């Protein structure tokens, strides 16, 4: 019975809202919101360790433990493994424990000459926190960002769900 209760607490501790706000061939705007029973400080600590919550399927190495994030302006979200290295994003605004903004063209966006800004906001909410992901990407009409928006939305939706979930 305790296991069933624990599973129910984990499942119901997260409330998620996600959407593609707008998309065109040269632009998209995404927003995700999730509630958690974790405090803002707990979420900020978790955010600082992407290896603990980012899905390994969305890494180049296939292993999220290769991810690191330096929380300071100019800090890097990196992935390093076996002599290989990927810069996923650079911190452009850091206001612990409330705001993290990165210039972050993850995955295929890196090779497309697009500008992508990902803002993560954490706020106290009821007995836990509210986390908001806002992402804006701009490129040329040839970028086809309207076609990529749903895939990026899926990845970021999965990420916010994993971020706000209570850790084991």
How confident is the model over 133-164, as pLDDT tens digits?
A: 999 999 999 999 999 999 999 999 999 999 99
* 78 in a structural domain: yes
CA 159, CA 154: separation in Å to the nearest integer?
A: 9
Structure pTM? 0.88
Which residue is associated with the tokens 């939706």? Answer: 157
Question: How many domains does the chain divide into?
Answer: 1
* 126 in a structural domain: yes
* 1 in a structural domain: no
* 145 in a structural domain: yes
* 7 in a structural domain: no
Write the CATH number for 24: 3.30.530.20
Q: Which domain holds residue 135?
A: 13-164
* 3 in a structural domain: no
Q: What is the pLDDT of residues 59-116, one digit of tens each?
A: 999 999 999 999 999 999 999 999 999 999 999 999 999 999 999 999 999 999 999 9
């Amino acid at each position: 019975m305790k296991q069933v209760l624990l599973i129910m607490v984990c499942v119901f501790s997260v409330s998620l809202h996600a959407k593609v706000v707008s998309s065109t061939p040269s632009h998209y705007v995404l927003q995700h919101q999730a509630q958690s029973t974790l405090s803002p400080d707990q979420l900020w600590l978790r955010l600082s360790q992407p290896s603990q919550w980012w899905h390994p399927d969305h890494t180049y190495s296939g292993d999220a433990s290769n991810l690191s994030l330096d929380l300071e302006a100019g800090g890097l979200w990196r992935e390093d493994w076996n002599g290989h290295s990927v810069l996923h994003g650079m911190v452009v605004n850091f206001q612990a424990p409330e705001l993290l903004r990165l210039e972050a063209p993850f995955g295929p966006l890196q090779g497309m000459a697009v500008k992508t800004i990902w803002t993560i906001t954490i706020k106290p909410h009821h007995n836990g926190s509210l986390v908001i992901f806002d992402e804006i990407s701009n490129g040329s009409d040839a970028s086809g960002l309207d076609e990529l928006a749903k895939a990026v939305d899926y990845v970021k939706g999965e990420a916010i769900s994993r971020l706000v979930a209570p850790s084991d």
